[in-house]
Amino acid sequence: MKRLLSSLSYQLLRDGAMVRITLLLAAGLAVFGFVLGLSAEEEACAGRLIVDSPPILWMFQSMLMAILAAVICTADFRDKVIYQELMAGHSRAEIFFSRAIPATLLTAAVATLLSFMPVLSNCLIFGWGDVLEPAGALLRIALFFFPFLRMAAFFVLVAFLCKKSAVVIVSGYIIMTLGLFLENVSPDHPGFLLGFYNLQDLCDFSTWSIYNLDQEGGILTFTAYDSSISAGMIAGTVLVSLLVSAVYLMAGYGFFRRDDMN
């Protein structure tokens, strides 16, 4: 297992295309954060970005996760490395988990880091502001790791089922499109059922409005946001995501263990 992991690490470090794609997406998200700040109807700040445009924090990461999972899990089917490892005496459990676990953890971690990019660029230019308390808001974004984990595990499952990178990447596009659809048509959704629902819940802040009278402006409305997150939300996000991720990975291993590799 250690030698397989070392070989995989070397392969990823040499894959300049993946590094370029990741950096390009990071730059794109940073630019989005800046542009959304410029177009804000109210005073621009990082807290306002999180409240007004939450999908920018998580929507595009599914494509990158699909690409990463495809590279890590399907490339060795194409160049027959997995077949050579089997002939060299490595067990199927070693071969599967030496790819599945790094693919799941790495893609989820990269996706989570990218979620901070639009917030960071917006904050550097416009400041944090007083819309949200930073500690609670940043904790919510850090918890994206767990819904991303279950999505990454799903891409790993697809990779070992199909053995074709194109299928995994297409599934990433479908999930991204489905997430946009659900965001628009399903504002009230059943909790932790899907990773995208979980991400939406993490970006759902309790609000209350304060009204005041102004001699010139008439009725003025001030909206306050609560960035704190309940223990139930944290526990549900972590436990459900870990459980679903384990189910996906065990399903993938079950298929790979019985696969005749034709």
DSSP class per residue in 214-262: ETTTEEEEEEEEE----HHHHHHHHHHHHHHHHHHHHHHHHHHHH----
Count the neighbouring beta carbons within 10 Å of the beta carbon of residue 174. 12
* Per-residue DSSP letter, 133: -
Q: What is the mean pLDDT of the chain?
A: 82
Strand 206-214 and strand 218-226: pairing?
Answer: antiparallel
Q: What SS3 state is found at 212?
A: strand
Write the CB contacts of 201 (distance below 8 Å, at least 6 apart in sequence).
189, 191, 192, 233, 237
Dihedral-angle region of residue 50 (phi above 0 means left; psi in -120 to 50 means alpha; beta otherwise): alpha
**Amino acid, single-letter form, for residue 44:** A
Look at residue 98 in the predicted model and tell me its pLDDT.
Answer: 85
Q: What is the pLDDT of residue 249?
A: 94
User: Would you state the pLDDT for residue 82?
Assistant: 76
Residues of the chain with pLDDT under 50: 4-5, 10, 13
**Whole-angstrom Cα distance, residue 140 to residue 134?**
10
pTM of the predicted structure, to 2 decimals: 0.86
The whole-number pLDDT of residue 10 equals 47
198 contacts 192 by C-beta, under 8 angstroms: yes
- Token reading at 216: 């010139």
Looking at residue 150, what is its pLDDT? Answer: 94
Residues facing residue 206 across a β-bridge: 226
Q: Answer whether 197's CB lies under 8 Å from 188's CB.
A: no
3-class secondary structure, 156: helix
pLDDT for 163: 86
What is the per-residue pLDDT for 189? 58
DSSP secondary structure, 30-67, as one string: HHHHHHHHHT-SS---HHHHHHH-GGGGTSTHHHHHHH
Q: What is the pLDDT of residue 124?
A: 92
**pLDDT tens per residue, range 168-177:** 999 988 888 8
Residue 114's pLDDT is 94
